[in-house]
Amino acid sequence: MKLRTFSIIKPDAVAAGHAGAILSMLEEVGFKILALRMTRLTQSQAEGFYAVHRERPFFPSLVKFMTEGPLIVMALEREDAVAKLREVMGATNPANAAEGTVRKRLAQSIERNCIHGSDAPETAEVELRYFFSTLDLQG
């Protein structure tokens, strides 16, 4: 069954002009773009989005990074969407990411790693609702 997931092209990738390359990589592995928008996060939106990491030492820096400039939020559809997106993203630290993944090709560091993808179907639904309405998600 086709399921959907949520993704962000992070501010580092947008600023570097990698948005098109990332969208191409996602389309090449069969993702349909259901919804897409360029936006900026306020500090409280970024803190809320990454609330699960609020006790981590990297949290303040992560929030600063995610608010530094425009980013692109997306709803993506595919068979096994959550796991497939995580696969094409590559490991959190680009140094550990597999060949051919977005992070291996384009990311600079464990923080500035170009792309977000939901880590479970339940998380995907919550994250999609953070940015998109039912109407947006019709595709």
In the complex, which residues of this chain contact ligand ATP (CB under 6 A)? 53, 58, 62, 92, 110-111, 113, 116-117, 119
116 in active site: yes
CB of 55 to ligand ATP, least distance (A): 13
CB of 138 vs Mg ion, minimal distance in Å: 26
Instruction: Give the helix/strand (H/E) hosting 47.
Output: helix 43-49
In eight-state DSSP terms, residue 36 is E
For residue 34, with 0-12 CB atoms within 10 Å meaning exposed, 13-18 middle and 19 or more buried, which class applies? middle
Q: Which is nearer to Mg ion, 77 or 119 (CB)?
A: 119
Of 85, 106, 116, 118, which residue is the catalytic one? 116
- Residues annotated catalytic, as ranges: 116
